[in-house]
Structure 1
Amino acid sequence: MLTSFIEGLLCCLTSKSANTVVPIETSELADGYEFVEVKPGRVLRVRHIIPDRPIEEEPSQGASVSCKRKITVYRNGQLFIENLGERASAELKSCQNGETEPNSTVEVELAESRNSSPPVSLPEPRSESVTAGNNGASETGAAGEAPAAVHPDQSQQPRKRRRKPKRTVVIDCERKISACKGTHSDVVLFFIHGVGGSLDIWGSQLEFFSRLGYEVIAPDLAGHGASSAPQIAAAYTFYALAEDVRIIFKRYAKKRNILIGHSYGVSFCTFLAHEFPDQIQKMVMINGGGPTALEPSLCSIFNLPTCVLHCLSPLLAWSFLKAGFARQGAREKQLLKENNAFNVSSFVLRAMMSGQYWPEGDEVYHAELTVPILLVHGMHDKFVPVEEDQRMAEILLMAFLKVLEDGSHMVMMECPETVNTLLHEFLLWEPATPALVKKENKTRPETAKAQTDNNREATEPATVRPATARQT
């Protein structure tokens, strides 16, 4: 604590930012690690494991899921989502919100307009509900009764004003979903960490899936781990980091790619799913939060000067340990030390928190995703409440939500076996192929000429005629 305070004081006096990130020259190039220069002078460390696969199996055909959705944004700050798919995977709906009907509607309020009302509400199916495609007149009478021409107390009733939609997004596509096994050479897993992390936090997952035969990719974001740390705050904005992730993805991507993100890394996975919709097979969000646009907080401890944050670095590390883990014992402290978690410079930490500006990543942006998504949430997470992941599950078209009772924000380090099992089951999951309906053998109706011939044969005496070649 005293050393950090002295270093912070020297930082203030010399006007130089303290940077404790391991430089790229001192990093040993071990087996499975690569260094990729995404831009001149901007180098990222990437762990790339290509396992020795057994005899390759033929990929399963899987099943096609109809993704038909109508998203309407109104000017009063409401978002109306209507699922129009004939078969939007009933098992997904039952896991997502308890409903078994494939056609359902979701009405939510946008983040900037909601006050104390619940963020997501599932209205009951009603015939008089107003949708974006109607003419604005809602029927309040029974189905068989015609509305009266003139109502005596019509002037006393409040007149419903037609809601004008701000914009409407229609999604109509077919997505083919199949099981992804480690023996398939066209499957790659991408692991993206969040603020203060590194690729080492995925150690258990990288080892587990590489042993199963999967090809895995895990980069260090700029300023994290052994990647280069530019001394410019603009190098840590969302768009700068997203461009780095895009370059890494295009370098290692194959036909079927699976994205696994944690915390801030979930936003980059969502960005890639929008940029490359045909190449993303499945996606996993671990404690990623709600589908709201990113905007840095104006009143935050990370807005303090870098030298002050450097003085408070031991306190920040202790706070992260308390909020990121369900238990604060010797094992958790050892996990933080071994996996190089929350071990970044104060300058990088301040720039990362101030650069989280992504206005495009709102509810509509997430509702447009058609890829199957697994949501994993630690119940004891103090950074991201469970209500945010529940909101995300309601917004997404195809989503599973799994809540782990013994986990917190760093759930993949606390419960590695459970997380690995959930991820593996999700990779092997594929929608059930609908059984083909057998068509009954129906006799074709006789034509008028055939009926006349049959009647004539019934009335005339049967005569034996020689068989001709045509009759034969």
Structure 2
Amino acid sequence: MLTSFMEGILCCLTSKSTNVVVPVETSEQADGYEFVEVKPGRVLRVRHIIPDRPVVEEPTGQGGIVSCKRKITVYRNGQLFIENLGDRASAELKNCQNGDTEPNSTVEVELTECGNSSPPVGIPEPRSESGTAGKDRTAETLAGEEAPVADQQTDQSQQTRKRRRKPKRTVVIDCERKISACKGTHQDVSLFFIHGVGGSLDIWGSQLDFFSRLGYEVIAADLAGHGASSAPQIAAAYTFYALAEDMRLIFKRYARKRNILIGHSYGVSFCTFLAHEYPEQIHKMVMINGGGPTALEPSLCSIFNLPTCVLHCLSPLLAWSFLKAGFAQQGAKEKQLLKDNNAFNVSSFVLRAMMSGQYWPEGDEVYHAELTVPILLVHGMHDKFVPVEEDQRMAEILLMAFLKVLEDGSHMIMMECPEAVNTLLHEFFLWEPITPPPPKKESKTRPESARAYSDNTKVPSEVRPASARQTSSNGCAEDQPGS
């Protein structure tokens, strides 16, 4: 603590940062580590593992097709109206591969029909004369207050004016996606892991080892200023758009035909960005403690707005706060996890620039509602950084979202509960929606019973039954010949 305080004073006097992160020397180049220069002087450390697997292995199974047809209307007051125009996706999303769903573990978007729609997300039902307005007038009458006729006309005119409000913009999405199981033996599948602020690719150590052993090709990168990547000494190098461009170049370098993005915290925003940039190549997504579908904007009242030297003096306190809020339990095991996985080991300058550079106005609710890829939301119950209500809101906005809440985890859930997280991710990778079989065509042939009856009961046309009688012209019945 005293050393950090003295270094902070030196930083204030010299106006220079004392802890500059530079690429560290590593002897693990043969273990899948690479250094990729995304821009001149901007080098990122990447762990890329291609496991041994069969030479030719095509995906098996037909997969399922999910239709996405929804209309998104945004009004000038910021309210959002999401209307799903088809009910075909509803039955397909409610059934997993085995046809069952787990109660209280999956949050699905409520699909509304055009003729009989339920209240939309973020928009209250318009008040009608026979509905809410009638209830309000009844309540006023019971209270002994009679509304004047002029007031009623004013209310009606206001309601009419509200109904006629014009939307700011309207987005219509109409597409079909084929979703199939992604197995490790498929050579067209790759997994991309993206960490958040203060992390590194080492926080995915359990996931990288687990899925590489199953035959998956895995890719994880250190963000600029994190882990063993280079750390430019300009704040503009750590804005959202600069970091997103780095991830886009990494994705283009290692992408396959079907790619699955796994993001944690701030890394979820980069996954969403890539899903919009490459919608045909992103097969599935996983969001771990990513928060709600809101546009990013740096906070004006934040401790990270303090000068770099002050933040350096407070670095031990910040590390303790991160341990307190990021883990469900704070013991020797959790401290060792932080140390071994190189988490929250960034310079004060990088930390301040990262927090102040989180400006992404495009990433609003409409931006997330346009995603048509299946998404798994994983949330740790004890997370103090991201409330569970934000992930629930995300699940409501997204079309195909499955929310899983783990009671024993917190913000760093992939390090606290690696077995549970790996199991959830693997099941999601193998999941595919069930396509209902086509209706059976009715057979035009006669039933066997009718055919047998027609073959066995042949009545001669020349011989009439004995009970039949001929009627004479005078109305008397005559006996048949031979009776």
TM-score when normalising by structure 2: 0.81
Superposed displacement of residue 57, structure 1: 3.9
Count how many residue pairs are aligned between Structure 1 and Structure 2: 412
Aligned counterparts, 1:177-196, within 5 A: 177-196=179-198
Alignment-mate amino acid for residue 381 of structure 2: M
* 1:173 aligned partner: 175
Residues 107 and 401 in structure 2, CA contact (< 8 A), matched pair in contact too = no
Deviation, 1:75, is 1.7
Q: Spell out, residue by residue over 1:254-296, the C-alpha distance to the aligned partner (whole angstroms, 9 max, x if none).
A: 1000000000000000000000000000000000000000000
Give the partner amino acid of 1:40. P
Q: 1:195-206 to 2 correspondence within 5 Å? A: 195-206=197-208
* Conserved 8 A contact 1:373-1:400: yes
Q: Is the 8 A contact 1:81 1:106 kept in 2?
A: no
Name the structure 1 match of 2:145. none
TM-aligned CA deviation for residue 157 of structure 1: 4.9
1:218 aligns to 2:220 (yes or no): yes
**CA distance change for structure 1 residues 106 and 277 in 2, over 3 Å: closer, same or farther?**
farther
Q: Distance in 1 between matches of 2:366 and 2:111?
A: 22
Q: CA deviation at 1:138?
A: 6.9
Return the offset for 1:61: 2.4
Amino acid at match of 1:434: P
Question: 2:20, 2:227 → 1: CA distance?
Answer: 10
Identity over aligned pairs, percent: 84
Residue 26 of structure 1 is matched in structure 2 by 25
CA distance in 2, matches of 1:395, 1:258: 20
**Distance between the aligned counterparts of 1:356 and 1:307, measured in 2?**
21
Which moved further from structure 2: 81-90 or 398-407?
Answer: 81-90
Asked if 2 retains the 8 angstrom alpha-carbon contact of 1:55 and 1:183, the reply is: no
Between the aligned partners of 1:183 and 1:244, the Cα distance in structure 2 is 29
Instruction: State the one-letter code of the partner of 2:5.
Output: F
Q: Given residue 26 of structure 1, which amino acid in structure 2 is its aligned partner?
A: E
* Structure 1 position 173, deviation (Å): 0.4
Residue type of the alignment partner of 1:34: E
- What letter is aligned with 1:201? I
Q: Matches of 1:55 and 1:280 in 2, distance apart?
A: 24
Give the C-alpha shift of residue 92 in structure 1: 3.0
Q: Does 1:43 align with 2:43?
A: yes
After superposition, the C-alpha distances for 1:117-151 in whole angstroms (9 at most, x for unaligned) are xxxx8x8xxxxx67xxxxxx97959xxxxxxxxxx
Does 2:249 match 1:265? Answer: no
Whether the 8 Å CA contact 2:108–2:399 is kept in 1: the answer is: no
Equivalent residue runs for 1:19-418 within 5 Å: 19-21=19-21, 23-24=22-23, 26-30=25-29, 31-54=31-54, 56-59=56-59, 60-90=61-91, 92=93, 96-97=106-107, 103=113, 107-109=120-122, 140=130, 155=153, 157-159=155-157, 160=159, 161=161, 162-418=164-420
Letter in 1 for 2:242: A
Check 1:288–1:100 CA distance in 2 against 1; reply closer, same or farther (3 A cut): closer
* In 2, Cα distance between equivalents of 1:71 and 1:97: 20
After superposition, give the CA deviation of every residue in 1:46-73 in whole Å (9 maximum; x if it has no partner): 0000000147543132111101010001
Q: Which runs of 5+ in 1 are unaligned?
A: 110-120, 124-128, 131-136, 142-151, 444-460, 462-472
CA contact (8 A) 2:288 2:378 kept: yes
Deviations 1:87-136 (A, max 9, x none): 11435357654688674666334xxxxxxxxxxx8x8xxxxx67xxxxxx
Q: Do the aligned partners of 2:24 and 2:228 also contact (CA within 8 Å) in 1?
A: no
The 8 Å contact of residues 87 and 111 in structure 2, kept in 1 or not, is answered as no
Listed as ranges, the gaps of 5+ residues in structure 2 are 95-100, 132-148, 446-461, 463-483
- Give the partner amino acid of 1:107: P
Q: In the TM superposition, what whole-angstrom CA distance separates every residue of 1:314-355 from its partner, at most 9, and x where no partner exists?
A: 000000000000000110000000000000000000000000
Residue 83 of structure 2 aligns with an amino acid whose one-letter code is E
Question: Residue type matched to 2:408 in 1?
Answer: D
Query: Alpha-carbon deviation of 1:208?
Result: 0.3
Amino acid at match of 1:79: L
Secondary structure of 1:88's counterpart equals: helix
Per the TM alignment, residue 163 of structure 1 is displaced from its structure 2 partner at its CA by 2.2
- On the 8 A contact 1:72/1:167 being kept in 2, the answer is yes
Tell me, what secondary structure is at the counterpart of 2:156?
Answer: coil
AA in 1 matched with 2:15:
S
Q: Is the 8 A contact 2:90 2:111 kept in 1?
A: no
Q: TM-score, normalised by structure 1?
A: 0.83
Aligned-residue RMSD, C-alpha: 2.4
Separation (CA, whole Å) in 2 of partners of 1:197 and 1:438: 55
Residue 17 of structure 1 and its aligned partner are, at CA, apart by 1.1
Q: C-alpha displacement at 1:78, in angstroms? A: 1.1
Q: Is the 8 A contact 1:47 1:218 kept in 2?
A: yes
- Tell me the residue number matched to 1:145: none
Closer/same/farther in 2, CA of residues 25 and 386 from structure 1, 3 Å limit: closer
Give 1:48's aligned amino acid: H
Aligned position for 2:144: none
Asked whether the equivalents of residues 90 and 101 of structure 1 are also in contact (C-alpha less than 8 Å), the reply is: no
